[in-house]
Every structure is written in C-alpha cells, then in structure tokens.
Amino acid sequence: MTDYFFVSLSSDTAHSSWGKNALLSFSEGHAQIHIDDPTGAFSVVQSAARKLDGMGIEKVKLQGELWTTELRWAFSQGFYNAKNGALVHFGDIEDNEAEVLTSRKLIMEWVRKTINLGPQALSPEILCDKAVTLIKHVLPEGLHIKHNIISGDSLLEHGFQGIYQVGKGSSRPPCMLQLDYNPTGDVHAPVAFALVGKGITFDSGGYSLKPSAGMAAMKSDMGGAATLTGALALAIVNGLNKRIKLYLCCAENLISGSALKLGDVITYKNGVTVEVLNSDAEGRLILADGLIAAQEDKALSIIDAATLTGAAKTAVGRDYNTVLSMDERLVTLASNCASQENEKLWRLPFEEFHMQQISSPFADIANIHSGEGMAGASTAAAFLAKFVQQPQKGWIHFDLAGSYQVSANALWAAGGKGHGVRTISKMLFV
C-alpha cells in the first residue's frame, strides 16, 4: 500500500454535486482537477494544488495522461508550504522529464527555504556560503567555479563603501560574494552577464526604524540575492555555456552606536557622493558596489535584482515582479522570457528625468527622492543608474515585488516564492 494521495486532470466539467464550475472533485484517495479552458491551465492547476495543500494532504502523486511538464511544475509550485516543502511525486514520466523537474524543484526550494530562514540563521556570510554550495552542487562533472567572499574591513580595502557602511551597525560583518562561472575555461572569455543581487539578511530600517508589522517580513530582504543564485543554478543545469559572474551584496541593516546615520555622506569607488536621508533605503546603497564591480569586470550586460521598494509592491501587489530599464532590447527580452516561463512581470516607468529627482545640497545625490509625488521605484532605479556608466544600454533592474508572500493567497503559500528565477535564468541563454 502507499500513502500517496493521487491527483489527475480532467477536461470535463465537475458534477454539479461538487458545486457550479467546481475546480476539484473527489473519490476515495483521489482528486480530479477540472480544466475548462486550456489557455489558463497553469494558474488553474496551481490554484487547485493550493486548495489541496490547505486540506492537510501531505503527499501527492500525479497520474493520468493530461499532465505536461509545465502543469506538473504548476502543481508543485502551488502544493508547496514553508513547513513541509512540496511532497509531490511527479508520476510515471520519462527520465529526462523527471530530471528537468527534479533539478528545478531542488533549486526553487533552495530559493524559497533560504528566503524563509529566520535572520539569526542567515547572516551575510552564511548567505554567501550557501550560494556557493548550491552552485557547486549543480555543476556538471569536471567544471569548477572561482569565488571570493570579501568581508568586514576588507570591503574598505576594495573600495566597497556602500556595503560596509550599511552593515557596520551589526556585529556580523557585511560581505560581497564574487563568483565566476566560466564553463569554457578561457580566462579571456567575456562576461556575458553580471548578476548583482541585494542580500540584506535582515532590515530593521536602521535609524529610519520600521514598525514591527513591516519589520517582521524583512528576513526576506535578501530575495534578490537568492533569486539570482537560483537563476544561475537553473541555467547551469540547463546547459548554459556562457561566462556569468554573480555578485551578492550582503549586510544586516541594524541599529547600534556604529550604525549608519542620517546625514552621513558616502563616497563611492567611482567618485559619486551620496547623502543618506533615509537608512531604510539601504538596498540601493549596497547594490551600487555590485554595479561598480560588474563594470570593473567588463560585463557585457548587467542584471540586478532586489526587493528594493515598497512603491513597486504598491504598484503591482505581490503577484508581479517589476522591471525598469532604458534598454528596450533587454525589457523585451525579460518580458518574453517571463511569458515563456509562466511568470508575471510588469514594466514600470524609468526615464532620464528621474535621475534629476534625487538631488542633495551636500552630495552628488541623495539616497531617496526629494519633493512630493515622486515615483519611488523609478527614483530608486535612477539612483542605481548613477553607478552605471551607460545606463541606457546593457543594464536592467528587477524590483522583486512578487518574490515573497506575507500571507498565502490562491496561488502561493506564505513566504518565499522563487518567482523570477525562471525568467532571469532564461535571459542568460539569449
């Protein structure tokens, strides 16, 4: 005997006894998901999986002929919860399909579990170590990576003032991971993409202190770092043969006698000076260092990803990630990849004039916009643009509004989602 609960798909309408247009019907030890419109099947299956998870069903095996790879994946996404993961047997499938799904599940659950870790369990250095471990785990036999973790006072020696200043209020040192995936082995191979991720392992807001309700979810403020690590790992298992560099900018944003203070001015490696007017706008301060490092390594294109602004969440909620860029090619690429990978992405406005809205009387720029009615996500991108030599070309910024759910909804469990991993991973192949 088995303790699996079996789930199959049906193109028939459920019997009226289950309710009008019922999504699910049941028999002993078995459920059917009823799909009336194949065009919306991905969301329907994910929603049905959430309902089954909410019933306390622990282990599921998929059966029947209507399952596709994408629908099996949709079910796995929805059936996941933070306590148990997703105990899903994908069914009787070919070995190559099982390998695709199993690898994807391993990586995505790494992302979700890492985001869900409490802040005491995930210091900046631990996050960097975990990222290295995941990438090493998925490397094909014979391939190796080079990596360096620059920590504490060593950040100053390398000129990475932003990460250092944000993280100096914590007893656990800030750090930057620089990881080089170079499958060709050619030391002169160009860096096709640099991936720059925000890794704030806990964000109290610093002296611009967050209220408790807003602070409770700030273990997730390293979602950009986790998402980009997962994206690179997924690309590797899918056979990526390009050189990629990963930069994780990691710190705890805490209060102490040595913490960053309002009115401080940071002088960056590229000479840009920044007045700190809000210590809760810290993500952009650390990403600036990663963008500088990516350009020092002459990356052809740069993708940064961060849980950067409440403005992005206000604009699109938790259902979409947002993207901001002046490079139309990269925006189109991101949009197409999101559509192909069944992820949701929405473009927010970002133009040259936004870069005039972060002025400071004491420095080149401030870390928040000045005046009222300014677009918070757009001016955050404008801040980052000050650290990109040619922001109009070869750089795209993801503000990951959809990477974390404070509470469950019809498609997602509470906690980390991994939303965005597939989109960015797909972009690396183009």
Residues of the chain with CATH 3.40.630.10: 110-427
- Using the predicted structure, report yes or no on whether residue 2 has a pLDDT greater than 80: no
d(CA 189, CA 201): 33
DSSP for 231-288 reads: HHHHHHHTT--S-EEEEEEEEEE--STTS--TT-EEE-TTS-EEE-S-TT--HHHHHH
d(CA 130, CA 151): 15
- Using the predicted structure, report yes or no on whether residue 372 has a pLDDT greater than 70: no
pLDDT for 1 equals 45
**Architecture of the CATH domain 110-427:** 3-Layer(aba) Sandwich (3.40)
d(CA 142, CA 187): 16
**Nearest by Cα to 412 from 86, 87, 107:** 86
Residue 204 phi/psi, 5-degree rounding, is -80, -15
pLDDT for 85 equals 93
Q: Which residues make beta-bridge pairs with 34?
A: 10
Asked if 50 is an active-site residue, the reply is no
d(CA 429, CA 238): 10
Find the catalytic residue in 59, 113, 136, 210: 210
Which residue is it, tokens 């991994």?
418
Q: What is the mean pLDDT of the chain?
A: 96
d(CA 183, CA 240): 8
In this prediction, residues 180-200 reach a mean pLDDT of 97
pLDDT band at residue 371 under the 50/70/90 scheme: confident
d(CA 207, CA 227): 28
Find the catalytic residue in 130, 168, 284, 422: 284
Asked if 210 is an active-site residue, the reply is yes
pLDDT per position as a tens digit, 72-95? 999 999 999 999 999 999 999 999
pLDDT per position as a tens digit, 223-275? 999 999 999 999 999 999 999 999 999 999 999 999 999 999 999 999 999 99
- Using the predicted structure, report yes or no on whether residue 373 has a pLDDT greater than 80: no
H-run or E-run covering 70 = helix 69-79
* Cα–Cα distances in angstroms (integers) from residue 342 to residues 190, 246, 276, 398, 402, in the given order: 30, 24, 39, 17, 13
Give the pairing type, strands 395-399 and 404-405.
Answer: unpaired
d(CA 65, CA 68): 8
- End-to-end alpha-carbon separation of the chain, Å? 47
pLDDT per position as a tens digit, 132-186? 999 999 999 999 999 999 999 999 999 999 999 999 999 999 999 999 999 999 9
